[in-house]
Amino acid sequence: MANAGSSRNRLMPWYIGMAIILMSVLYVGYRMASNGCPAPTIVEFGVLVIIPVVYLALMYLTLKSQD
């Protein structure tokens, strides 16, 4: 009954997760650039772009579908 008046943003965990992932991607990207990472460009692109985007999209869809 006490929760009836309060509205909670369902996407707040997504915003927090997005901020954490962005900070992690920036850190890993910086470390890859500063240390001259020998990984191929496609692997770097996958680690820094594809995996975080897929994770955020799935997390968004999960949180958006909740009642």
**Can you give the pLDDT at residue 2?**
55
Q: Kindly state whether residue 47 falls inside one of the protein's structural domains.
A: yes
Position 49 in a domain = yes
pTM, to two decimals: 0.77
For the chain, the first-to-last Cα distance in angstroms comes to 17
**Structural domain boundaries enclosing 60:** 11-64
Nearest in space to 13 (alpha carbons), one of 64, 52, 51, 67: 64
The answer to the question of residue 41 being in a domain is: yes
Where b means 16+ CB within 10 Å and e means fewer, 12-31 reads eebeebbeebeeebeeeeee
**pLDDT per residue over 54-64, tens digit each?**
999 999 999 88
Q: Could you tell me the pLDDT band of residue 3, with boundaries at 50, 70 and 90?
A: low
Instruction: For 4-56, write each residue's pLDDT tens digit.
Output: 556 778 889 899 999 999 999 999 989 988 998 888 889 888 989 999 999 99
Number of domain units in the chain: 1
For the cut 70, the answer to whether the pLDDT of residue 67 exceeds it is: no
Is 39 within the bounds of a domain?
yes
Compute the Cα dihedral for 23, 28, 31, 33 and give only its sign: negative
| Two structure tokens written together for 16 | 């927090």
